[in-house]
Amino acid sequence: MDFLSNYNGFIFDLDGTVYRENQLIHKANDAINQVVSKNKKFVFISNRTTSGKEIYAQKLNRFGISCRPEDIITTTEVTRDYLTENHQNERVFVIGEEPLINCLNEYGIETTKVVNEIDIVLISLDRTLTFDKFHIAQNALKRGARFFAANTDLTCPIENDEIPDAGATIAALERLTDRNLEISFGKPSRLIIERALKKLNLPKNECLIIGDRIETDIAMGNYHGIDSALVLSGVTPNYEKNGREIEPTYVIKDISLLIDH
């Protein structure tokens, strides 16, 4: 498959697709720079909320990938904008790290740890998760707080390993409180893919989603009618087609196959 001839817009995942923490995945820089040199449109999408777009852009540029902050969409900004537009006067308890909390606060969204003040519980990746944070979320949900998530990934890939992500926290809270998550702002949600398509300004049939996670990247393609390529360089190291509900259009070893076809 000559991907660069068949598609005009590329939606790239980051973790597990372009890099694993501080390790560039095989020839990812060459592949993406080839997309740029062919004047194809592209955007990066990340479900992580632990850094801002500027940090991600700096990281990509250190890897030799030509990228600007405006080429990146994160679930942080999607979450922030949704809460600003729909829940501006409500108070949020965040299981998440400082960059996400600071971003919400900068846009006038009040965060609190006082259980009887919490209107919304928001779950994200939190490498500083404590028993106290979990307990606050549990009690707030039992009191009727809304139940939102920046993303639902079960794990997050790092170099030679994976760490628990928001999905693990969500599953535990659902079990404990008999509540179901109401909305997720990250992949595969409509909110984040619509933002990507608006930026690309291309029909869906001219776009390709490239990612390593079936339940987010590939599901996003399936749910929204966009072709997808599953890379085996991240959380999905092998894949066999077996009639499962969510299946990619293509399966490739890693992102280098975009050019080494």
| pLDDT tens readout for residues 162-209 | 889 999 999 999 999 999 999 999 999 999 999 999 999 999 999 999
Same domain, 171 and 104: yes
Domain extent at residue 195: 3-47+187-258
Predicted confidence at residue 244, as pLDDT, reads 74
Same domain, 98 and 178: yes
Tell me, yes or no, whether 61 lies in a domain: no
Same domain, 118 and 89: yes
More confident residue, 182 or 159: 182
Count how many domains the chain has: 2
Inform me whether the pLDDT recorded for 243 exceeds 80: no
Tell me, yes or no, whether 179 lies in a domain: yes
Q: What is the DSSP letter of 5?
A: H
Residue 157: pLDDT band (50, 70, 90) is confident
Inform me whether the pLDDT recorded for 242 exceeds 80: no
Same domain, 174 and 82: yes
Same domain, 118 and 217: no
* Residue range 135-154, pLDDT digits in tens: 999 999 999 999 999 999 99
Tell me, yes or no, whether 71 lies in a domain: no
Average pLDDT, the chain: 95
Beta strand residue intervals within 34-182, DSSP E: 41-46, 72-74, 92-95, 120-123, 146-149, 155-158, 161-164
Predicted confidence at residue 201, as pLDDT, reads 98
Inform me whether the pLDDT recorded for 241 exceeds 80: no
Q: What is the DSSP letter of 203?
A: -
Domain boundary among 184, 217, 235: 184
Same domain, 217 and 245: yes
Same domain, 16 and 90: no
The amino acid that residue 190 corresponds to is: R
Contacting residues for 249 by C-beta, under 8 A, at least 6 apart:
208, 221, 227, 228, 229
> What distance in Å separates the CA atoms of residue 14 and residue 30, rounded to the nearest whole number?
15
Same domain, 85 and 174: yes
CATH of the domain at 16: 3.40.50.1000
> What distance in Å separates the CA atoms of residue 77 and residue 52, rounded to the nearest whole number?
9
Tell me, yes or no, whether 148 lies in a domain: yes
Domain boundary among 184, 206, 222: 184
More confident residue, 162 or 115: 115
Predicted confidence at residue 132, as pLDDT, reads 98
Same domain, 153 and 213: no
Same domain, 109 and 176: yes
Same domain, 197 and 172: no
Inform me whether the pLDDT recorded for 261 exceeds 90: no
Tell me, yes or no, whether 85 lies in a domain: yes
Tell me, yes or no, whether 67 lies in a domain: no
Burial bucket for residue 241 (CB in 10 Å: 0-12, 13-18, 19+): exposed
The 3-class secondary structure across 119-158, one letter per residue, is CEEEECCCCCCCHHHHHHHHHHHHCCCEEEECCCCCEEEE
How many CA atoms lie less than 13 Å away from 21 in the CB half-sphere? Answer: 8
Q: What is the mean pLDDT of residues 154-158?
A: 84
Predicted confidence at residue 56, as pLDDT, reads 94
Predicted confidence at residue 148, as pLDDT, reads 98
Domain boundary among 130, 153, 184: 184
Same domain, 176 and 216: no
Contacting residues for 69 by C-beta, under 8 A, at least 6 apart:
52, 53, 54, 56, 57
* Residue range 69-112, pLDDT digits in tens: 999 999 999 999 999 999 999 999 999 999 999 999 999 999 99
* Residue range 25-36, pLDDT digits in tens: 999 999 999 999
Q: What is the mean pLDDT of residues 120-127?
A: 97
Tell me, yes or no, whether 151 lies in a domain: yes
Tell me, yes or no, whether 60 lies in a domain: no
* Residue range 246-255, pLDDT digits in tens: 999 999 999 9
Query: To which residue do tokens 């949600």 refer?
Result: 189
Inform me whether the pLDDT recorded for 63 exceeds 80: yes
Predicted confidence at residue 139, as pLDDT, reads 98
The amino acid that residue 149 corresponds to is: A
Predicted confidence at residue 159, as pLDDT, reads 78
